[in-house]
Amino acid sequence: MDSVLSISGLTKHYGSVKAVQDLKLTISGGQVYGILGPNGSGKTTTLGMILGIIIPSKGRFSWFDHLPVNLAMNKVGSIIETPTFYPYLSAVQNLKIITDIKKKGSKEIENVITKVGLYERRNHSYKNYSLGMKQRLALAAAMIGDPEVLVLDEPTNGMDPQGIADIRNLIIEIASRGTTIILASHLLDEVQRTCSHVAVLDKGKKIFDGTVKDILESEEYIELAAEDMETLHQLLKEFKGIAEISRESDKFILRLSAGPTKKDLQKYLIQKGIYPTHLAVRTGSLEKKFLELLKKSQ
C-alpha cells in the first residue's frame, strides 16, 4: 500500500509544555487509523500539525510522498476540535466557500448535506445550529470533493446517541469504499468498532501502535468450569501455554499464551477425562488494553 502520511520526529512545545514529543507514525492507504489517548495527550495538536494549522517545533511530516500541505488538503477532508464556520452564513453558503477553495463544483453540496441529515436546515444560519448539527455540518464539509483521506478529531462530540450511531455508520461506509481514515477519539468503543489500526498517545508520546485485531486477540480470555474443579485446576497447571489464570467463584479465567489454541486446550482436557461444564470466550476490549498501557507508562 502507498504511504498516505508519514510522520517522523514530530514535536511541539508550548513553552515548557511538551504537547507532542518525537512522534513517528506511518499511515498507508485504506487504513482506518485510530489515535487514542486521554485528554491532553497531544491528539489534537498532532492533527493540527499534519493539517498545517499548527507549526511544529521540530520534525517532519509528509502527505502522499512530499506533496505540499495545501495541495494535500485538496485530497484530505478534516474535522478538527470544535466545528468552525461563518456563523452568519447558512450551511450551503459555508460549504460553497469550501468548494471554491477546493476548486470543486457546488453540485455535490446537496449530496453531502443530505448524507449527514441536514437537508431540512440547509438554508438556516449556522449560528442557530445545535452542537450536534454543527458537528454534522463539519462532517459534510470534510466529505466535500470525495477526499482520499478523512481526518476526524472527536467527530461525535456533543452528539445524541442517534447522531453517534449515524456518524459511526457513515464512517464505516466511507471506509468500506477504501478511503483512508485517521480518527482521534477518547471513545474507545468507537475506535474498536471502526478502526483497523491504532496508536496510543500519552503525554505527547506514542506508547503503542498496532492492529486492533492483535490487541483484541491478545486480550482474549477463556472461562472454564467442570464438576471436579480441583482436578481441572491441577490439569490446567500442567498444561503448557497458559499465560495467566485466576479463579472467579465457580470458574477459572485464563488467557492462553501465543502458541496453543482453544482447540488444543479442549482436546487436552478431554484426553485427561475432564469434560468442561462451562466454556466461554470473553473477547478482550480495547478499553482494558488501553488502561493497561497507560498504567505501564505512568
Partner 1 sequence: MNRLLQIEFRKNISYPAFWVILGLHYFFLISFLLNINNLSGSFNFSSNEFQNIDISLVPVFKFPDIWQNITYLAGFFKILLGIYMVIAVTNEFQYNTIRLNLTSGLTRLEFLFSKFLVALIISLFSVFILFDLGIFVGLFKNDAVMNQDFFVKISFLGAYFLEIMFYMMLAIFLSTWLQKTGITIFMLLIYPLLIEPIIRWQIPDNIDQYFPVKAMDNLNVFPFPKYFGFPVNESVPLDSTLATIGWILIIFLLTYMLIRRKSL
Q: Catalog residues that contact partner 1 under the rule CB under 8 A.
A: 48, 51-55, 70-71, 73-74, 76, 78, 80, 82, 84-89, 93, 96-98, 100-103, 141, 144
Q: Which is nearer to partner 1, 98 or 232 (CB)?
A: 98
CB of 181 to partner 1, least distance (A): 16
C-alpha 284/C-alpha 145 separation (Å) is 38
Measured from the CB atom, is 78 or 180 closer to partner 1?
78
The whole-angstrom separation of Cα 34 and Cα 36 is 6
Could you give the count of Cα atoms lying within 13 Å of 10 in the half-sphere of its Cβ?
A: 29
CB of 101 to partner 1, least distance (A): 4
Helices (H) and strands (E) in the chain, counts: 11, 13
Q: Tell the smallest beta-carbon distance from residue 199 to partner 1 (Å).
A: 21
SS3 at position 156: coil
We find the least distance from the C-beta atom of residue 29 to partner 1, in angstroms, to be: 20
Residue closer to partner 1, measured from CB, 34 or 56: 56
Shortest spacing between CB 80 and partner 1, in angstroms: 7
State how far the Cα of 58 lies from the Cα of 284, in Å rounded to an integer.
37
| The dihedral formed by the CA atoms of 288, 291, 296 and 298, expressed in degrees to the nearest 10 | -170
CB of 56 or CB of 132, closer to partner 1: 56
**Nearest residue (CB) to partner 1, 140 versus 164:** 140
In which residue are the cell numbers 484530505 written?
A: 76
Of residues 96 and 186, the one with the C-beta less far from partner 1: 96
CB of 235 to partner 1, least distance (A): 60
- Which strand ranges, in their side-by-side order, compose the sheet holding 58-63? 17-28, 3-14, 58-63
255 dihedral zone (left: phi>0; alpha: psi -120 to 50; beta)? beta
